[in-house]
Structure 1
């Protein structure tokens, strides 16, 4: 079965309706995020869960904000 990925707007709508949690968000955002999240969990000794998924999304948002502040995004 092929993994389906959705635009961020669709994922946000699914979360707002309670259809998806943070782990679903990552799994349907991109293959790259799935790989980064798995590595993030390994490196930080975290279990794959909605809690660590939320931490990862927060981490990615901080990376983006830093990149934008530095003119790299």
Structure 2
């Protein structure tokens, strides 16, 4: 099996801005942890893997980060 490639956030943003990647690609190339969390997120919310659900997952992760920063945990 081929090794999965992950990119820094800056590279992923550039690829999205150029139209090379959508939100699903962003999530799948961010990290192995995000891939696993996204799969659980989809399962828990009865979602299918798509750009729409991946965008929802990224918003969810942003909200988690904001909450962690506000509480001093990030």
Aligned length: 73
Q: Which residue of the partner structure matches residue 69 of structure 1? A: 70
Unaligned runs of 5+ in 2: none
3-state SS in 1 of match to 2:11: helix
The separation in 1 between residues aligned to 2:49 and 2:26, in whole angstroms, is 13
Alignment map for 1:23-34 (pairs within 5 Å): 23-34=24-35
- Over the aligned positions, Cα root-mean-square deviation in angstroms equals 0.3
Superposition map of 1:1-73 within 5 A: 1-73=2-74
Q: Provide the rounded CA distance (Å) in 2 between the counterparts of 1:43 and 1:61.
A: 18
> Secondary structure of 1:19's match?
coil
Q: TM-score, normalised by structure 1?
A: 0.99
TM-score normalised according to structure 2 size: 0.98
Shift of 1:49: 0.4
Report the Cα distance in structure 2 between the residues aligned to 1:26 and 1:56, rounded to whole angstroms. 8
